[in-house]
Chains A and B, each alone.
Chain A
Amino acid sequence: MELLIDQFFVAIQGSNLLVLFLSTVAGILIGAIPGLTVNMAVALSIPLTIHMSLAQALCMIFAIYVSGIYGGSVSAILVNAPGTPAAAATTLDGYPMTQQGKAGKALKMALFASFIGGIMSIIILVLVAQNLAAFALKFGPAERTTLMVFALTIVGVLSGRSMIKGLLSGAIGLLFATVGADPMLAVPRFTFGMLELEEGFGFIPVLIGLFAVSEMLVQAEDRMQTSIKASYKESSDREEDSRLTRKDILLSWKTIIRSGFLGAFIGCLPGIGATVACFFGYGEAKRASKNPDLFGKGTVEGVAAAESANNAVAGATLIPLLALSIPGDALTAILYGALLIQGVQTGPLIFQYQLDAVYLIYITLTLANIFMVATAASFMSFFKRIAEVPRRILFPIIFVFCVVGSFAMRNSVIDIYIMMGMGVMGYILRKFQIPLAPLLIGYILANPFEEALRQALVGSEGSLKVFVVKPIAAGFLILTVLAIVFMIRRTLSARGEETQGGENREGEESEL
């Protein structure tokens, strides 16, 4: 305890707080710009940490990380361009809210949910890091495979009005994911001899193209004279719409907590990541919600679900890193290097030999979350104005960022073409009212699913029994079956209502 308090005072020195503040601002801005990712920002800040103290270095890294993930939601909500992959699910309800003039409410809910999700994951990290790490190791190929199968049922949940269109969209996502080297034998598929395509279409160009570029194309159809906010008839300037009311919080608190746990759970499994987590959180929130039909049309619950989950990943990815020295994603791999520079060796013994460093990590991560809230709250009025900038000025700027961001991922021009191609495809799909979210989920899950499936089958020599014999794997399969049955029943009952003459169809908005 004494050590914890000591470390607290080490952490809150003036210079550290200054670093925290500056890094938070930088993190939010980098996160908000589509294509400039948190990973890149953290990696480039590592050389700066060489000459810093451990506390300072941690403040810098965590502040960029935590606020960067929040920052991604700002552009997701305001202009339908997720600033980071982790904010992809935030667009589903965030952007419709902006179109309804509720940008302020969405931004505040995103911040609130991010903060709660972040703090929850820290509590989980502090309390059960070692147990959870041991549990995460049980997730072998068979367990991962069935987890992915279960995750794929979210496609159905997000399909909206037409299940067929949703499944079609998911299938297109799976199809695109087959481009690249196969995960077992590295045989190139659909690469046409181009080395650049061996890793498949990069996630960032696909994401930016599908969401941001297709949005610009749709908007370009009218003449872009007005701002996003003014261009929608329902646009409202009611005071209530830019605030987070008690009603909103009452509506969303369960969702936030659930997403926080889901995010932390997925975060502690190495190699799955925040993007899957936020869709998981979103899908489960919709399944559990009393009014699932509002999802995708601009409900605070949807924003809360996605944002709580993706920020909960932040703390949880530290669990395998600290307890087992296993960096679960690119970001924790960078953090591992940064900790080594500071002389901190992660692994099972860190809790015995370098407890001071562990405490410092807890404290700085908490401080980073607090600074994120404080800084973002003071930026709020500035953010809201972005939606008021005329689109003919705003969109060209965003487009430049989209191009630069796609290129910057790996300094490759082909990624710009992929982004543009995806933009055109997203535009066409929208015209046919095919939802884009299932495509993205199919795209994200395909490769980890194939990898895990084939790893499991190597181990079992082709026998599918592994998926039933192992209890965790079997559990996910049962959940999958239940989810499908649940979905079929709902579809049938909805159809029943319709044939009975219930003409309660709401406005024909195309869902994302």
Chain B
Amino acid sequence: MMDSKKIIRFALAALLVFGLMGPALAAEFPTKTIKVYVGFSPGGGTDIIARTVASVAPEFLGQAMVIINKTGAAGTIAAREVSQAKPDGYTLLVAGGSETVSVGHYRELPYHPINAFSPVIRISRDRMILNFNANAPWKTLKEFIQDAKRNPGKYKYASSGHGGIYHSAMLAFCDRAGIKMKHVPYKGGAPGMAALMGGHVDIAIASPSEARALVEGGKIRSVTLTSLERTPLQPDVPTLKELGYDLYLENQKGFVAPAGTPKERIMFLHEAFKKAYEHKAFVKLCTRLKIERGYLGPEDFRKSLMGMYNQIGSVLKK
């Protein structure tokens, strides 16, 4: 009797151990749906990137992707959720913009915006272009800066919200140019552009694709951008760097996993997403949606995020 009980116990224990070890031994990943959190509403820029990737990537992942829009507090609610998720590669976040490089400098967040995550891949880079109203009195950025130096605090800029990446970019710009401007936050980039066109503010940031339609329509003039090289959409607009101001900020978007996710799973996801990124259908969608593709691998994406995070941090510390 004792023996048979022992045998059963042993068998049960063995079953349990193998049952648990099974997946680990086989190293099968992924075996279930991958959840992607988006901190912004369906239909917005970040959401569109997630959904565009999700329309191509499952083929290479071997699993479906489900997009979860958990909106609120400038994307930080979704970021917190993912930072606390089990680091098993099944929970990802679309990150790289305000919630990653900017907001954390303005207030305390329940996670470290960079260190709580393990970057997987950068998908896109949205450049930030500074614009005047078409009827603004300044012909060049230089003229504006001279004027603004003589009149500190006279001119106003619009941002997409306090602590957002547009706000940080303008603060950094003012810091580099040595000028003081007034900040008028709006709810999102579009109302800020409307304020610029209506003459209620003097400078507003937009993405090159948004700006181009309005530049061609004679409503606004683009003057400079915060990237290292010019944008193909408006090749005659000089970068800040060319004008002698050292600043590099872009609104990046990519996938990150919670910190502590096993390296081989990160690499597997990276390979799958990279194949999706290079896929014809994805390239075509990006062209149509005017998403600027900007691949970076896990390490480079981390460095890039860290660089921008620190740049903004150094401006705000002053």
Contacts and interface: CB of A to CB of B under 8 A. Distances in A.
A337 B162 contact: no
A330 interface: yes
Given A186-B185, A196-B73, A337-B43, 19 more contacts: A39-B42, A43-B47, A183-B185, A185-B162, A195-B77, A199-B71, A270-B190, A270-B191, A326-B190, A330-B43, A334-B43, A340-B288, A340-B290, A343-B288, A349-B217, A410-B72, A411-B69, A412-B70, A458-B156
Most chain B beta carbons < 10 A, residue from A330, A340, A412, A455? A455
A-B residue pairs, 4 tightest by C-beta = A348-B217, A347-B213, A334-B43, A43-B42
Interface in B106-155: 106-107, 110
Contact of A271 (B182, B191, B288): B191
A495 interface: no
Interface stretch (A80-88, A132-140, A382-390): A132-140
Interface stretch (A44-52, A297-305, A426-434, A504-512): A44-52
B68 A411 contact: yes
B198 interface: yes
Interface in A314-344: 320, 324-328, 330, 333-334, 337, 340-343
B187 A412 contact: no
A195 B288 CA distance: 35
A345 interface: yes
A347 B217 CA distance: 7
A359 B288 CA distance: 21
A181 interface: yes
Contacts of A346: 213
A284 interface: no
Contacts of A347: 213-214, 216-217
B220 to A, nearest CB: 10
Given A348-B214, A410-B71, A326 B194 contact: yes
A326 B288 contact: no
Interface residues of A, number: 51
B213 to A, nearest CB: 3
Given A137-B198, A349-B216, A195 B289 contact: no
B241 interface: no
B156 A459 contact: yes
Contacts of B55: 47, 50
A337 B289 contact: yes
B230 interface: no
A183 B187 CA distance: 8
B262 interface: no
Interface in B57-93: 68-74, 76-77, 80
Interface of B: 41-44, 47-48, 51, 55, 68-74, 76-77, 80, 106-107, 110, 156, 161-163, 182-187, 190-191, 193-195, 197-200, 210, 213-214, 216-219, 285, 288-290
Contacts of A186: 74, 106-107, 161-163, 185
Contact of A333 (B44, B68, B199): B44
Interface in A184-199: 184-186, 195-196, 198-199
Most chain A beta carbons < 10 A, residue from B41, B107, B195, B200? B200
Contacts of B195: 140-141
B185 A199 contact: no
B200 A195 contact: no
A60 to B, nearest CB: 14
A40 B42 CA distance: 7
Contacts of A44: 42
A418 B80 CA distance: 21
A148 to B, nearest CB: 14
A217 to B, nearest CB: 28
A356 interface: no
Contacts of B156: 458-459
Contacts of B184: 141, 455, 458-459
Contacts of B210: 325
17 contacts: A43-B41, A140-B199, A141-B195, A195-B72, A195-B73, A324-B193, A333-B190, A341-B289, A347-B213, A347-B214, A347-B217, A348-B213, A348-B217, A349-B213, A410-B69, A411-B68, A455-B186
